[in-house]
C-alpha cells in the first residue's frame, strides 16, 4: 500500500465546502485503489456526497446491505454483480451476461461500509470485473474507492463460514484480507480529524476505546463523567446492543401513552420485497401523540436530518407533526425510498441509476431506544447507553459511545467495563499501521 496520511483541518463540527479538495484530487488523479478509513464523525459520509457530486457520470455507489444501500442512494454489491448471498470461492464466480456492458463502461466503483464486506466478496467483485472487461488488471482496471472503518461493526461471519474462509486460504474475513489488495498499490487516506465532538478529552477517550489503547483510563474517565441520571430537561435515546432490549424500551414507552394511536401501512412498488427486504421503517408503523420518534431520512427542505429526535404532537392519515428536540415543529409526510439499479444508457453515454422499486412510509421510528447497529452513522445530542449484559461484537461499545456529540449529553445505565471494549487485534494492528502511514492531504479549510 502507498505510504500515506490524510489530514483534514477544520474546526470541530464544521466542514468547509472545500474540506475534501485534497482527498478528491487523489481520486481524480487516478490511483487505482483508494481506501478511505476514519473513526466516527470524521466526515466519511460528507466525502461520499462530494464524490457523488464531482466524480463524473461513470461511477457506481455500492454497499454491503440493503438498508445501507438505501441510505447511500446506491445498490447492494450482491445485486450489482449478481453474486449469491453466501460464502463463495471467487475463482468460481462468473459475471452475468446482462451486466457485462455496464461493467465495461464503469470507470469508478465506490463501496461504503467496507468494514462489513467479507474478503471473498471483494475478490468476487475483482474477478467479475476482470472477466467482464477482458482486462487482467486488478478490478479489471476500474478505479475502486473503499470507505469505512474496520474498528466499527465487522462483517457477520458464522464460525462454520470462518473455517471455510480459512480453507480458501484467507487469513481472516475482512476486506483487507482480500487477495486482490496484495496485487495493487492501495492509496491510503486516513480521515483523522473528528468533527462530531468538540471536547478534546472526549475525542481522546473515544480514540483510545476505538484503538484498544489506554482502555482502563478511558473507561474510568467516561464512567466518572457519565455514570449518572441523564441531564435534566432532556430525554435521551437509549442505545442497546439487541433488538429484544430495544423493543422492550419502546413497547414500555408506547404503552404508557393514553393516546389510542394511529397505524401507518407501508406501500411497495416494483422490485421491493416486503417479506424479505430489511426495511428502514416497519411495514406497519404505530405512532401515538406523545411518542418519542427519530427521523430516518434527511428532509429535502433541511428541517430535519436522519437521526433528528422529537416528540409527536399530532397525527393525520398521511403525516405526523413532531416537536424536534433541536427546536421547531416539523410536518413529516410519507416519503419514498428508492431501490436503485445501475444500467448503461447508450443514448446518453452515461451510467444511469434507474429506480426499479420504491417503498413509501412515514420516515419515523420509535426512539425511546434504538439498536447500536441502526444508530451507526448518526449524531445524537442526548444518548443513554444500556449495554445490558455486554457488547457482543467488536467495536460495538465504541459505535454506541461515539454517537454522542458531547459528554454532557451522554449518560450510562450501568458503568462501562473494560470487557465491553471488544477489539479484534488484527484489525487494530491494521488500522494503526494504516493511520501511521497514509497520504498527507491538506485542505485549505
Please state, as a whole number, how many other Cβ atoms lie within 10 Å of the Cβ of residue 70. 24
d(CA 141, CA 9): 32
Confidence of residue 23 (pLDDT cuts 50, 70, 90): confident
Rounded mean pLDDT of 260-271? 92
Nearest to 201 by CA among 183, 225, 181, 182: 225
Rounded mean pLDDT of 157-186? 92
190 DSSP β-pair partners: 37
Q: Which residues touch 8 (CB under 8 Å, ≥6 apart)?
A: 19, 20, 22, 23, 42, 43, 191, 192, 193, 441, 443, 445
Confidence of residue 6 (pLDDT cuts 50, 70, 90): very low
> For position 334, what pLDDT does the model report?
95
d(CA 271, CA 72): 18
pLDDT in tens, 177-216: 999 999 999 999 999 999 999 999 999 999 999 999 999 9
The predicted model scores a pTM of: 0.87
Q: With contact defined as beta carbons under 8 Å apart, do 358 and 268 qualify? A: yes
* Main-chain dihedrals φ then ψ at residue 335, nearest 5 degrees: -135, 165
> For position 15, what pLDDT does the model report?
56
Structure-block grid coordinates of residue 335: 416519503
Please tell me which of 122-126, 257-261, 342-346 the model is most confident about, judged by mean pLDDT. 122-126
Q: What separation in angstroms does the CA of 122 have from each of 12, 76, 337?
A: 34, 13, 26
> For position 7, what pLDDT does the model report?
32
Structure-block grid coordinates of residue 14: 464544521
Q: What separation in angstroms does the CA of 311 have from each of 80, 237, 319, 326, 371?
A: 39, 12, 14, 11, 19
Amino acid at each position: 500500500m502507498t505510504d500515506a496520511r490524510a489530514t483534514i483541518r477544520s474546526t470541530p463540527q464544521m466542514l468547509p465546502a472545500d474540506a475534501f479538495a485534497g482527498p478528491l484530487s487523489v481520486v481524480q488523479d487516478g490511483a487505482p485503489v483508494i481506501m478511505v478509513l476514519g473513526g466516527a464523525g470524521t466526515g466519511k459520509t460528507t466525502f461520499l456526497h462530494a464524490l457523488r457530486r464531482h466524480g463524473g457520470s461513470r461511477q457506481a455507489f455500492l454497499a454491503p446491505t440493503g438498508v445501507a444501500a438505501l441510505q447511500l442512494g446506491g445498490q447492494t454489491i450482491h445485486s450489482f454483480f449478481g453474486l449469491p448471498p453466501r460464502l463463495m470461492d471467487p475463482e468460481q464466480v462468473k459475471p452475468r451476461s446482462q451486466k457485462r456492458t455496464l461493467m465495461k463502461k464503469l470507470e469508478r466503483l465506490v463501496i461504503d461500509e467496507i468494514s462489513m464486506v467479507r474478503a471473498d466478496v471483494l475478490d468476487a467483485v475483482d474477478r467479475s470485473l476482470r472477466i467482464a472487461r477482458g482486462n487482467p488488471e486488478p478490478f479489471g482496471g476500474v478505479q475502486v474507492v473503499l470507505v469505512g472503518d474496520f474498528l466499527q461493526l465487522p462483517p457477520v461471519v458464522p464460525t462454520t463460514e470462518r473455517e471455510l474462509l480459512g480453507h480458501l486460504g484467507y487469513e481472516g474475513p475482512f476486506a483487507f484480507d482480500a487477495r486482490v489488495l496484495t496485487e495493487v498499490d492501495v492509496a491510503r487516506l486516513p480521515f483523522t480529524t473528528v468533527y462530531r465532538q468538540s471536547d478534546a478529552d472526549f475525542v481522546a477517550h473515544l480514540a483510545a476505546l476505538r484503538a484498544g489503547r489506554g482502555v482502563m483510563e478511558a473507561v474510568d474517565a467516561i464512567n466518572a463523567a457519565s455514570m449518572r441520571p441523564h441531564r435534566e430537561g432532556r430525554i435521551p435515546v437509549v442505545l442497546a446492543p439487541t433488538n429484544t432490549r430495544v423493543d422492550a424500551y419502546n413497547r414500555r414507552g408506547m404503552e404508557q401513552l393514553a393516546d389510542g394511536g394511529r397505524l401507518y401501512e407501508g406501500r411497495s412498488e416494483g422490485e421491493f420485497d416486503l417479506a424479505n427486504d430489511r426495511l428502514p421503517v416497519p411495514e406497519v408503523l404505530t405512532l401515538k401523540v406523545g411518542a418519542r420518534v427519530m427521523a430516518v431520512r434527511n428532509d429535502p427542505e433541511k428541517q430535519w436530518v436522519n437521526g433528528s429526535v422529537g416528540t409527536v404532537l399530532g397525527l393525520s392519515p398521511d403525516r405526523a407533526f413532531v416537536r424536534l428536540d433541536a427546536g421547531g415543529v416539523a410536518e413529516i409526510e410519507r416519503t419514498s425510498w428508492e431501490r436503485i439499479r445501475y444500467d448503461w444508457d447508450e443514448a446518453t453515454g452515461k451510467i444511469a441509476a434507474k429506480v426499479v422499486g420504491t417503498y413509501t412510509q412515514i420516515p419515523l421510528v420509535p426512539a425511546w431506544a434504538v439498536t447500536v447497529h441502526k444508530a451507526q452513522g448518526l449524531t445524537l445530542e442526548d444518548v443513554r447507553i444500556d449495554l445490558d449484559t455486554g457488547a457482543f461484537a467488536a467495536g460495538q461499545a465504541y459505535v454506541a459511545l461515539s454517537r454522542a456529540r458531547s459528554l454532557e449529553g451522554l449518560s450510562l445505565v450501568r458503568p462501562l467495563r473494560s470487557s465491553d471494549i471488544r477489539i479484534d487485534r488484527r484489525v487494530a494492528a491494521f488500522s494503526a499501521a494504516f493511520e501511521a502511514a497514509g497520504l498527507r492531504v491538506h485542505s485549505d479549510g
